[in-house]
Amino acid sequence: MHHLRMLILRKLSAAIDGLNDMIGVTIRWLTLIMVLIGATGAVLRYYSRGLGLSMNLTPFVELQWYAFSVIFLLGAAYGLNKDVHVRVDVMFSRYSDKTRAMIDLVGTALFLAPFCILMLYVSFPAVSSSWSVREMSPDPGGLPRYHIKALILVSFGLLLMQAVSHIIKQVDIMRGTGSPPDEMAHVPMPEVDGVAGDTVTGRGDA
């Protein structure tokens, strides 16, 4: 019975991880799109001023930060799964896998999950009022606002789901039945060709 419950939970955790990983690899394309929109907008602004044209570049500016917002709002849960969120690991890097799992378990239950619930609770009224009036950008020629605001709820909803998955995995590690997370996530060894995400997040013992 107990064994079956753990099996179901593991499946749930894997499903959540799968969903957020899929979102994560999709949204990274937005960085390239954002760069291209930004560069186009910059060039247009320069030339429209030079030629004395009056072009409305509000959509360019707004599309840029919409893309920016989608990246971090939808990517936060992916980031939790990939251990992207920066840690102060002066001591953390010296702990055993089980101790790390315990810190992550307690931290997720005590800090992350309640914070997600808080954000969902306080954001709901603001998002629903924005949605009910089909809120638009206050700037002329601007884009609709209500979808992007609603993503705040989606963001913390996904993050809460990932928190559940994270807790399941930590329990598995502490019981010795799961595999510890990828070692490289905590070790600051820079790889020549590796993803330089470690430039900022990685920190460890000398």
Subset of residues 127 to 186 that bind other proteins, contact rule: CB under 8 A: 127, 148-149, 152
133: helix, strand or coil: coil
Among 14, 29, 56, 177, binds other proteins (CB under 8 A): 29
46 near other proteins, rule: CB under 8 A: yes
Among 59, 144, 157, 188, binds other proteins (CB under 8 A): 188
Q: Which of 147, 130, 87 is nearest to 112 (CA)?
A: 87
| Rg over CA atoms, the chain | 21
Stretch that binds other proteins, among 2-10, 12-20, 171-179, 187-195 (CB under 8 A): 187-195
22 near other proteins, rule: CB under 8 A: no
d(CA 15, CA 6): 14
Nearer to other proteins, 6 or 113 (CB): 113
Residues 6+ apart with CB under 8 A from 28: 71, 75
- Of 73-102, binders to other proteins (CB under 8 A) are 73, 75-76, 78-80, 82, 84-93, 95, 100
Residues 6+ apart with CB under 8 A from 72: 155
Among 63, 68, 154, 157, binds other proteins (CB under 8 A): 68
